[in-house]
Each structure stands twice: as C-alpha cells, then as structure tokens.
Amino acid sequence: MDLAPKPTANKVNWSWTSALIGAASATAAAALISAKPKDPTFHLISIKLTSFKINLSNINADLTLTVHVSNPNITPIHYSSTTMSIFYDGSFLGEAHVKAGSQPPRSCRVLELPARLDGIELAHHAGKFFADVAKREMALDAKVEISGTAKMLWWEHRFKVHVECHVTVDPVVLDVIDQENESQLELFLAS
C-alpha cells in the first residue's frame, strides 16, 4: 500500500479583481484602525501668580495655568467652554476657565487658563498648607469635563473628555514638580 501523496496538476486562478479587492480591504482595515478615537493628552507646563487680592470678606489668588494639549486623532475637534475644578486636601479650592475653541487633527496647542483660588478655603487648611510650604511640596487635584464635536467626512459626532489631574507644585515659587494626568474620551455615535 503506497501512502505517498500523488502530484496534482491544479492550476491556481489569479485575477486582478481579487488582488484589488484584497488591497481595498487591507486599506479599509488600516483606515479603521487609525481612525479609532484616541484619548487626548494634557500636561501642565507652568503656574503663574497674576494677582493677590485681599478684601474684608475674602482673599483671592489669581493665576494663569499654562497647559499643553494634544489631539492625536485624525479629525479636527471643536469644544465648548467649561470650568475646571481645583481641589486641595479634598476641598474645593478654586476654578480655572477653559474658553471654547477648536484644534486641528494630530496637533498640539498651548492654552493659558485663567484661574482663581479661594484664600479663605486655603486658610481652613492652614496647618497642612504651612507644612506643605515647609517641605516645598503641595498636592493639588483638578477635574474637568470637556464637550464638543469631531467632524469626520460629513458626519459630526459629539464627544466628552473627562480629565483628572494630580499635580505636585512647589508652593513657594509655583514650579510644577510632578503630575499624573488621566483623560478618558467618550464618543457618541448617534446624533
């Protein structure tokens, strides 16, 4: 009994149509993979004290937060104005204002956000604040939700980005020592 395979003379039919369909499928798959929405990134570059106001009823510190923002997606975005909440030791300390704007695809921008911190609220944490000043490390947290639209071809899709930041600063000279930023993109496909 002979178990060796017998040679066959099957001819493979090759066509340009099959090759073009395969190439088009591969291109479409690559386009879908690159079009998958990616989370934007946020990085606090600097904090600048612009004014310190003392009134009979309150104490406010006005700051400018310089933030580097990148849009890694292949579509331009348009976003509405919003407010970033700033926390110290778990308590609301102040807010920064994000103006409405837009950003081109795969681009980076530097935004300057005006912020105001409540000195009276900071006074409620005086013991911790003075300890932070002595060790020259102060931990702040910030949260913001940014809503907008991203246009791909002729379809506009709404999105929301939730950003949480944990920043360690030197409270004496306002240098950024360390930071952890997390952003999560939520895309709404239905209009």
Looking at the domain assignment, is residue 104 inside a domain?
A: yes
Stated pTM of the model: 0.76
Closest alpha carbon to 188 in 149, 154, 130:
149
Dump pLDDT digits (tens) for 13-31: 667 777 677 777 766 666 5
Looking at the domain assignment, is residue 94 inside a domain?
A: yes
pLDDT category at 5 given cuts 50, 70, 90 is low
pLDDT of residue 159: 84
Looking at the domain assignment, is residue 145 inside a domain?
A: yes
Show the domain range for 145.
39-187
List all residues 6 or more positions away from 60 whose beta carbon is below 8 Å from its beta carbon.
52, 53, 116, 117, 118, 119
Whichever domain contains 88, its CATH number is 2.60.40
pLDDT of residue 8: 59
Looking at the domain assignment, is residue 93 inside a domain?
A: yes
| HSE-up (13 A, CA, CB side) for residue 172 | 8
The answer to whether 161 touches 149, Cβ cutoff 8 Å, is no
Cα dihedral 186, 176, 132, 48 sign: negative
Looking at the domain assignment, is residue 1 inside a domain?
A: no
Q: Which one-letter amino acid corresponds to residue 116? A: R
Q: Where are the alpha helices (DSSP H) in the chain?
A: 16-35, 119-123, 126-135
Looking at the domain assignment, is residue 182 inside a domain?
A: yes
Dump pLDDT digits (tens) for 104-137: 989 999 999 999 999 888 889 999 999 999 999 9
Looking at the domain assignment, is residue 25 inside a domain?
A: no
Dump pLDDT digits (tens) for 171-181: 888 889 999 98
Looking at the domain assignment, is residue 106 inside a domain?
A: yes
